[in-house]
Amino acid sequence: MIQSLSGPVDTRPWWQKLVQNYTLRTFVQSLFTVWAVITFVFFLIRLMPGNPVEIYVNYLMNTENLTYQDAYNRAASQFKFDPDASVVQQYFVYLGQLLRGDMGESITSTGTKVSSQILRYLPWTVFCVGSALLISFLLGMLLGMLAAYFRNTWVDNVISFLASIVSAVPDYIWAILILIIFGVQLKWFNVGDMRGTYDPATPPGFNLPFILSALQHAILPITTYVLGSIGRWVLAMRGSTTSTLGEDYVNIARARGLKQNRIMTAYVGRNAALPLFTLLAISIGFVLGGSVIVEEAFVYKGLGSFLFWSISQRDYTSMQGVLLIITIAVVFSNMLADLLYSRLDPRVRVTGDK
Amino acid sequence: MKRSLLLSLIVGVFLSLPAFAQTVNVAWPYQLPPDGHYNTYASGAINLGIYRDLMEPPLAVYMWSKGEYEGMAAESFGFDADGNYTVTLVSGYTWSDGSPITSADLVATFNTGYLIGWSVWDNLESVEAVDEQTAKFTLGEPSLATERLILTQNLTPASVYGSFGEKGAALKASGAASDSDEFKAALEELTTFRPESLVSGSAYVLDDVADAKAHLSKNPGGINADKVAFEDVVAWNGETETVFPLLQDGQLWYATHGLAPAQEEALINAGLDIIRNPYYSGPAVYFNNKVEPLNNPVFRQAIAYIIDREENGFVSLGESGIATDYMAGVSDTILKTYVSEDVLDSLNPYYVDFDKATELLESLGYSKGSDGSWVDGSGNKLAFELTFPAEYADWSAAAENAAQALNDFGIEITARGVQFQQHVQDVYDGNFELAIRDWGAGSPFPYESYLVPFRRYNGQGELAGEGAGGGMSFDNNVTYSGGEINLLDLTVASSQGTDLDKIKADVTELAKAYNELLPAVPLWERYGNNALNRGSLSVPENGDPIYQNAGLDHFMPYMILTGMAKPAE
Amino acid sequence: MRTFWPLLWQNKVGLIGFIGLVFYLLLITVFQWMVGFDNEVKLDQINSPPGSRLVLLTRPEDKDSYTKLQDLVGHKVGILEKSGAPTFLEKSNVEGLEVETYRWRSGRGVPESLEALAAGEVDALIIFSKLVRRYVLDPSSRDYKVSLSHLTVSNPKLGPALLLGADTQGRDMFTHVINGGRILIITAIMAGLISTAIAFILGTVAALAGGIVDRILVAIANFIIVIPRFPLLIVLAAMITLNNWLLLATLIGLLAWPALMRAIRAQVLSLRERDYVEAAMALDLSRMHIIFREILPNMMGFVVINFVVAITTAMYDQIGLIFLGMAPINDYTWGVMLYFGRSRGTLFNIDSAAMLLAPVLAIAFFQVCLVLFSRALEEAFDPRLRGAA
């Protein structure tokens, strides 16, 4: 009865509804993408030159000065890794494991669950990069809109200039400059105390000292992330807003005598932000990946440096685990973005099959 | 004199205790739990590299300048009349879990090592306790190399690894193959074993591991605990770029992380000292012998004459990149102790000499074209690719400089950086033309240096499985002016026995052949540029013989343990 | 386009960007032929700061008598081997100097030559300013050996100044910056064009066509976005080497398009429902007409700015490929300069930081010029903007 009030009655049978349900189809498609990616990744990482044993041999020889013989014996006996095992067979074993929700054990850290490794690093990365992305995105949108709104004035010039410069400087340089100039030279902070994710003196727990310590330790990495990424948001938002400014409905709104504020937020901002939300969705997925350079510079141990470490050790199972998490995050945040378009812009009908 | 000593003592007692820093700050990268752990026999153990000695005592440290071992956990040691080896441990010390340090620990250590394939077992029959502190090592045959493998080992507690030691001993006695089920089961049990903590027998015990730093406090019952000058040790986590700001800020006192000249200079400007200790190794140009004419010794000699090795060393590592004079495949310092003066004088130093290089290349039928590049008889350019590990600051600089020198001379070189783990693999697989890899080794025995070109990079290593190439494909059966020899066999021979004169003769022959054939062209010897903050840490001046120690005998843990390293006044 | 030039003239900021781009164009075409490439290793000049140069050092009593090379004819001049002095002497063509060459000896030759001058073995020394600072002028320096009361700089401007200092091999970095732009910029523009074009075409097609085409294109984009770059490039590097900048550009372009494609698709999905597009569709105008006449102008600002960002990204992607060994270091681009600068820790030393900062700033200002210039482009393509706001 209620249905009939809100529109024409849907007379399709339940199975047809199910098959034609846009959300469901998007979900299935996303699952398929995840499967395709993990399959590709599974074979890709085994194509990388070297394997865990060879890498560990070199490591032992370099750091512990072992003879080649000694190092090889030690490495070969350490890992449950057989270089001659069939890769295809391993693949099906891996898929079977995944279906049971098991990511397996790390190769180089024998006996350690990949899931426990990921859980160790994931929260810090999500917290740090997530906050940085949020700050960068919101601040970037605001500045980009300001620049577009004051097109060709000094505000625009300054914002565009700074954004261009900032976005063209790699985060490596920001990290080092922050540490050396503000830490070592100007002594604004103690470079030793700012390292790590939290102060060992305040063990993790839901209490104020720990939260303050975690916040304090995240300030530098967040600053670096924001510096490294905000320029692009500003430039993209400015470009997008400029395009929107010329739209008819904006002119009509102006002609109707609507207040500038209202035009900017309700008409321009909303439409201009649309493509940026797509980029944001993609970035949200990559939040989990973190940034190796920033994490290493501040010894902020997150998933990024863990992934890099497992790649460099050719720890296939750990690598697969992290990449799976990242893949799921990216694919599903994209899916959500797709589904949200219609909410953000009622005119969009992504569901339409012609 | 007496009075001032007394005065300083009194002042010292009253002022020093509260005022002096009691924590020594060093650095070593490590992985965090759960990847990092406290099973010292499994990969990923948090044992802090060279600073492992601070927790698990080494039996002895080889003093390079004296050419003899100094006991640490071992009180006395030596070959018996029957050719076997006996080690007696110091007595009266305890592990951090309260158990005493006895010969049972020695037995457990080596038998556990059997499970993970220590090469000392190639020449070791068994290890048995003789009395409370003494154990006897029954050897296949007496050997100086085996002695080093025994004495440089770190002692681990029987209270933790005893059961694994028993399994190892039983497997050794039964002669079970390493791929048998019982062997594999024992091994898996060992590598997945995760003890709660790292039980220490040395002066310090690891009590906190955070991502930024690891903390060690004094282990009161441990060996050397009565000698050390510091209450605590902090080991900062991270690689060069990560620890650099700490060095510059004065929070980190000593780091063995290789510094580039620009970084070194910045630290000197910040008031730090640089310790230039020999590593007895460095970068060399390796040749793929499957590529003509890289298989020709005369051509390789020409290359050696073209590259200015002194310049190459200086641009790569500043004052720590020292060109070698003997070009014999072993560090000059080590070679001097094995080879007589007149043989050393007869070795060709290959000082840069373009005329000589031209002469050699022309003798091979090459000529210099009008555009300045060398061509063979049919007009093909001499052109090669030189690869190097892209991440290594000093080697990449050496490659850039060498490529430049060869290009200027008219041999066309394309230089290409390769991700460092892939690069070594490429060389193992023979997938290169010219490559920068290491020569020499931080061992007082030259055989370890010679194994590098003749076995490790020559495709005859155990990695040469299916699909693997032959490394540099250098034929170890060579003819040189001294006759016909097999270089690998001679190298292995020089690692055996206790007859020093025979070893010296073998090494002399190897050196002469290497110098003539140049299987790889050594560019320079790497000396350390370890940053040291003398404002905080008091250790002997640069040039002290202790700094000749290298490899497993690194001087900093030795100096901390023996009290030579003290807080600066 | 007829209105472009007057527009550019009115848009001062766009004009500045345009002039900057012309400068970069000259940089990669004309300037590099005017300024050679310094490839000479000079051990005395390693990691030296901007403005440093060869100076003339004498004993205080000779301060006024020896200030030029000509003053030294018939006298003994000391130089260091493997330093910049031998080439400088050769170029200066002053005859009749008695030249005494001191060996470098891993740097130990420097204090030896200074002491020789103080002892009167030579009358003057041609030496690099950085060494003078370290060995003579700065008493707090660890290497301070000879005090000013024994030696004096009689001519602080003997040799030409190094505008940006010298790199880790003592080579003039100014010549490297001038020479290092061409391949990097061309490849980056090429790669940016490829990725932006793919993103625009596929994004528009996906949004307009919808249905199965849309699904497949989005799936491909998602797939490429998610493939981890580092392992992929390591594997590719083991299989192929890129000696050709066109291949390099293609590879970078092919990996870079998906994110932008998704953003453009979102934009077109929205534009599709506009009256003028629907009208065009109802009139059955060709797809090409709709895409390039109705849709492109309405998102020009967004596309252009992303093209600009794509160019900068492509530059850094190239540098990443140098780290992975996919691109050789023989073409000494800003990327190679950055690579060596970074791997050799030059950012940690104020004297040598220019080796990293100069190429980064060169890239950054290139992006600034592009961004500023793109404003003029926006107005040229989107006439509606001219009067607005």
3-state helix, strand, coil in chain B (%, to 5): 40, 20, 40
Residue where the block lists tokens 């003053």: C71
How many domains is chain C built from? 2
Asked if the B204-277+528-567 domain carries CATH number 3.40.190.10, the reply is yes
Give the span between the Cα atoms of A239 and A167, in whole angstroms. Answer: 15
CA atoms within 13 A on the CB side of A65: 22
Confidence (pLDDT) at C10:
77
Tell whether the model's pLDDT for residue B383 goes beyond 80. yes
DSSP 3-state helix, strand, coil percentages of chain A (rounded to 5)? 75, 0, 25
Is residue C165, in this structure, part of any structural domain at all? no
What confidence tens digit (pLDDT) does each residue in C53-91 have? Answer: 999 999 988 888 888 888 888 899 999 998 999 999 998
Distance from CA of C103 to the nearest CA of B (A): 11
B460 close contact with A: CB closer than 8 A = no
Confidence of residue C147 (pLDDT cuts 50, 70, 90): confident
Boundaries of every domain in chain A: 13-99, 114-313
Which residue of A77, A220, A311 is the best one to mutate when testing the B interface, meaning the one whose CB has the most B CBs within 10 A? A77
How confident is the model over B212-232, as a mean pLDDT?
93
What residues 257-296 of chain A have any CB closer than 8 A to a CB of chain C?
Answer: 271, 274-279, 281-282, 285
The reply to whether C15 and C126 lie within a common domain is no
In chain C, which residues have their Cβ closer than 8 Å to the Cβ of B396? Answer: 340, 343-344
Interface test with A, best of B43, B263, B419, B427 (most A CBs within 10 A): B43
Listed residue (C262, C132, C133) closest to C195, CA to CA: C262
C41 within some domain: no
Reference A339, options C221, C269, C204; nearest CA is: C269
- What ipTM is given for this predicted complex? 0.87
Average of per-residue pLDDT values in chain C: 86
Closest CA in chain C for residue B261: C344
For range C159-166, the mean pLDDT: 92
Could you tell me what percentage of chain C is helix, strand and coil, using 3-state DSSP and rounding each to the nearest 5?
65, 5, 30
Same domain membership, residue C77 and residue C139:
yes
Number of C-beta neighbours around residue C318 at 10 A? 28
On chain B, the residues whose CB falls within 8 A of the CB of C343 are 260, 390-393, 396
Contact in structure between B324 and B522 (CB atoms under 8 Å):
yes
Q: Report percent pLDDT > 70 for chain B.
A: 95
Tens of pLDDT, residue by residue over B138-149, are 999 999 989 999
What residues in A contact C218, CB-CB < 8 Å? 338
Q: What is the CATH number of the domain that holds C228?
A: 1.10.3720.10
Comparing B377-391, B453-467, C170-184, which segment has the lowest mean pLDDT?
Answer: B453-467
The helix (H) or strand (E) run that includes residue B437 is strand B434-440
Low-confidence ranges of chain A (pLDDT < 70): 1-10, 18-20, 61-70, 246, 248, 342-354
Query: Out of A168, A180, A308, whose CB is closest to C312?
Result: A168
> Which whole number is the average pLDDT over C328-339?
84
Same domain membership, residue C373 and residue C238: yes
Calculate mean pLDDT across residues C292-305.
81
Residue C321 inside a domain? The answer is yes
B225 pLDDT more than 50: yes
- A267-271, B10-14, B347-351, B428-432 — which is least confidently predicted? B10-14
Kindly tell me if the per-residue pLDDT of B463 is higher than 80.
Answer: no
Let me know: does B199 contact B157? Beta carbons within 8 Å: yes
pLDDT reported for residue A5? 44
| pLDDT for A62 | 65
Element (H, E) at A337: helix A316-344
DSSP β-ladder status, B74-79 and B383-389: unpaired
**Residues A109, B551: C-beta atoms closer than 8 Å:** no
What is the third-level CATH fold of B281-526?
A: Dipeptide-binding Protein; domain 3 (3.10.105)
Lowest mean pLDDT: which of A68-72, B84-88, B308-312, C338-342?
A: A68-72
Assess contact for C180 and C336: CB atoms under 8 A.
yes
C357 and C255 belong to one structural domain: yes
**Facing B463 at nearest CB: one of A54, A106, A197:** A54
What average pLDDT does the structure give for chain B? 90
Pairing, β C76-80 against β C98-102: parallel
pLDDT band at B15 (very low <50, low <70, confident <90, very high): very low
Q: What is the pLDDT of residue B267?
A: 93
Above 50 in pLDDT, residue B395? yes
CATH code linked to domain A114-313: 1.10.3720.10
Average pLDDT, integer, range B209-229? 93
C11 and C72 in one domain?
no
At residue C355, the pLDDT reads 93
A202/chain C closest Cα distance in angstroms:
32
**Among candidate residues C42, C79, C32, C87, the one with its CA nearest the CA of residue C57:** C79
Q: Which homologous superfamily does the CATH classification assign to the domain defined by B68-191?
A: Dipeptide-binding Protein; Domain 1 (3.90.76.10)
> Are residues B119 and A120, on separate chains, in Cβ contact within 8 Å?
no
Report the distance separating Cα A78 and Cα B45, nearest Å.
12
pLDDT of residue B9: 44
* Residue C219 half-sphere exposure toward CB, CA atoms < 13 A: 20
Paired tokens of B560: 């901390």
State both tokens at C179.
């020479």
pLDDT of residue B340: 95
B364-373, B423-432, C52-61, C126-135 — which is least confidently predicted?
B423-432
- Chain C residues inside the 8 Å CB shell of A30: 222
Residue C39 lies in a domain: no
Per DSSP, the three-state class of B338 is coil
Question: In which domain, by residue range, is C296 found?
Answer: 4-34+177-388
**CB–CB of B423/B388 below 8 Å?**
yes
- B310 to chain C: which residues are within 8 Å by CB? 82, 104-106
- CA C341 to chain A, closest CA, distance in angstroms equals 11
* Chains contacting C (3 or more CB pairs within 8 Å): A, B
Mark yes or no for CB contact A191/B115 under 8 Å: no
In-domain check, residue C191:
yes
Taking CB atoms and an 8 Å cutoff, what residues of chain C touch A167? Answer: 309, 312, 367
Confidence at residue B388, expressed as pLDDT on a 0 to 100 scale? 93
> C223 and C253 share a domain?
yes
How is chain B split into domains, by residue range? 68-191, 204-277+528-567, 281-526
Q: How far apart are CA B203 and CA B221, in angstroms?
A: 8
pLDDT at B5: 45
**pLDDT reading at B562 higher than 70:** yes
**A320-329, C24-33, C172-181: the lowest-pLDDT one:** C24-33
Specify the range with the lowest mean pLDDT, choosing from A337-346, B264-273, C85-94, C169-178: A337-346
Among the candidates C125, C160, C195, a domain finishes at C160
DSSP A179: I
DSSP string, C241-289: ---SHHHHHHHHHHHH-HHHHHHHHHHHHHHTTSHHHHHHHHTT--HHH
In the prediction, which pLDDT does C382 show? 66
Q: H or E element: which one contains B215?
A: strand B213-218
Are C29 and C69 found together in one domain?
no
Which is higher by pLDDT, A33 or B425? Answer: A33
Residue C262 above 60 pLDDT?
A: yes
* CA angle (C89, C92, C98) in 5-degree steps: 45
Considering only CB atoms, A168 lies closest to which of C276, C302, C364, namely C364
Q: Residue C83: give its domain's CATH number.
A: 3.40.190.10
Chain A residues touching C264 at Cβ < 8 A: 275
Whether the per-residue pLDDT at B238 is higher than 90: the answer is no
Instruction: Please answer yes or no on whether B262 and C170 come within 8 Å at the CB atom.
Output: no
pLDDT of res. C301: 77
The string of pLDDT tens digits covering residues C280-289 is 878 887 878 8
Residue B34 distance to chain A (closest CA, Å): 6
pLDDT of residue C279: 81
**Cβ distance of C308 and A235 shorter than 8 Å:** yes
Range with top average pLDDT, B180-189, B191-200, B462-471, C105-114: B191-200
